[in-house]
A and B are shown apart, each in its own frame.
Chain A
């Protein structure tokens, strides 16, 4: 009998329920992905008339044309730069904050955690306009162009992922025995050294989890991107809508572009999902 984590005896009713439920869920999960892939291989005439399950004739034209219909390459470049910077900065800042929360007692710690976590419930719509006004005011006062620039978007996105990242990493750090970094401190290492040499390597799964989370949050954000970018800084999240502002809706090219912009995130996510589960187990789920 295979090693089982869960309940032991498996009655027939369980096997059947499992087969049926998991099959239905698989179909539910896969159908849109199939629609995306198959429609991306059809000529335009086939996606504007009635839907067909099997693409015939199959063409890869949409994958070539999509770069010309819309400046997709520029949107791609903007998204990659913005999201990578936001994720990297977010992980670094969250690591410092989580280290403080996990390893030190200080005045205001509880308030800090509560306030930061409660920002998670703020409706984005509430601070969209104020943030826009603040960015414009900062621009007028200092000449630093935050509005419409990639920097403004990076700042916004890195902050969006901070609360969850800090919370999760603090939980993760808590699960690392204090003896480890205390030993380093006794050996004469500074606190930062203990963080970088002991805590971070031990918390690697948690840090990877937070990095994927931050990147995905930024990659999928639409509301702020639609208000805070201009023609040169537009990201994929907004740019994909350009395919339907022409006379025709180029559904085949939209599907091709959707697939291409999804691949980096999905591959990263699936490759690292093992870390994600263990990261959640140690951090969030306690």
Chain B
């Protein structure tokens, strides 16, 4: 408050950049236009960039998905021959190789997302609730917890790729040489285990975000709620169950959705961990589409898959918001 009012002072002095004339003729027609136009003017820069980078490309992407766009037409993409619905038909024909591979990739992505989001949410929430009370070293602990999220994703994922190496990695050294849990070293970045590697790295990266958001959410719960229930004789665990968790419902609604969308669409993490060629079991959707577009140079096909992905996300998000909002209202 104090900070805010002090800088406001100079604004009251006359003769600023706006010119003194404007302040006097307050009701002129020009002023009314200005008043109505002002919010739009303020939005204009944001709108221009949103159009250029987000919205127009989406429309172009949908356009391309109906085209037979290969590298031959890349220089003059608007004149690529029409493909009708062929790209879509191929993508959802689950008896043919392309559709089969897409379906497989979709299932892998769903599995990966469910485990990654679930664990990230669980760890983040547990840490935030447990680290709520002041104790010695709490500040340091918070900094340590947030560091995985603060690190540039490619730097930390390269480190994980190093740790998962077969010969010289930390994980195999720990499990095989130090603890003797495995009889021989494990391939983490190839074959069946690759999906575990992906989940571990993804949880490591994302749980601090959940921690951060839940921590912020906890600060909005009024202390009186706890005091009142303590007088009523409620124990700690009971308070967490009956006050903390219900109060976090609104925060969780957004948090889980955001984690879901990030994880489902994540490209950087699997790409950095595996490179271009992800193993079958970790062939997540964005990597799959990237390969379908840029390795086979079939951009129409890749765009059709992307559009299908977007439709899926729209439906899931819509349904999720509908269900969770209704539940919140009835609760």
Contacts and interface: CB of A to CB of B under 8 A. Distances in A.
A259 B154 CA distance: 11
Nearest to B162: A251
A262 B152 contact: yes
A22 B141 contact: yes
B141 A26 contact: yes
Nearest to B261: A121
Contacts of B310: 121-123, 126
A11 B236 CA distance: 7
A129 B226 contact: no
Interface in B74-131: 74, 77, 123, 126-127, 129-131
A5 B230 contact: no
A256 to B, nearest CB: 11
A104 B39 contact: yes
B50 to A, nearest CB: 6
A100 B43 CA distance: 7
Contacts of A2: 133-134
A144 to B, nearest CB: 12
A143 interface: no
Contact of A93 (B45, B243, B293, B313): B45
Contact of B286 (A3, A5, A124): A124
Contact of B40 (A106, A158, A222): A106
A277 B223 contact: no
Nearest to B257: A121
A258 B155 contact: yes
A60 interface: no
A281 B147 contact: no
Contacts of B148: 29, 32-33
Nearest to A116: B50
A73 interface: no
A194 interface: yes
Which residue of B50, B74, B250 has the most chain A CB atoms within 10 A of its CB atom? Answer: B50
Contacts of B261: 120-121
Contacts of B216: 277-278, 280-281, 284-285
A223 interface: yes
B29 interface: no
A281 B204 contact: no
Interface residues of A, number: 117
Contacts of A100: 38-40, 42-43
A176 B148 CA distance: 32
Interface in B144-168: 144-156, 158-160, 162-163, 167-168
Contact of B162 (A35, A193, A278): A35
B155 A125 contact: no
A30 interface: yes
B313 A3 contact: no
A16 B103 CA distance: 45
A255 B152 contact: no
Given A50-B167, A222-B271, A258-B158, A127 B230 contact: no
A9 B235 contact: yes
Contact of B127 (A21, A221, A280): A21
Given A7-B243, A97-B45, A197 B55 contact: no
A30 B267 CA distance: 24
Contacts of A63: none
A220 B322 CA distance: 33
A17 interface: yes
A8 interface: yes
Contact of B53 (A155, A184, A201, A216): A155
A11 B235 CA distance: 8
Nearest to B160: A32
Given A4-B133, A51-B169, A220 B154 contact: yes
B244 to A, nearest CB: 7
B52 interface: yes
Contact of A14 (B45, B208, B220, B237): B237
Given A122-B310, A187-B12, A197-B10, A131 B4 contact: no
B256 interface: no
Given A4-B134, A158-B49, A9 B155 contact: no
A134 B153 contact: no
A76 interface: no
11 contacts: A29-B145, A48-B167, A120-B258, A123-B310, A125-B293, A155-B52, A197-B10, A236-B152, A265-B150, A265-B151, A285-B216
Interface of A: 2-11, 13-14, 17-18, 21-22, 25-26, 28-33, 35-36, 39, 47-52, 92-94, 96-97, 99-101, 104, 106, 109, 112, 115-116, 118-131, 133-134, 155-156, 158-160, 162-163, 166, 176, 180, 183-184, 187-194, 197-198, 201-202, 204, 216, 219-223, 236-237, 240, 251, 254-255, 258-259, 261-262, 265-266, 269-270, 273, 276-278, 280-281, 284-286
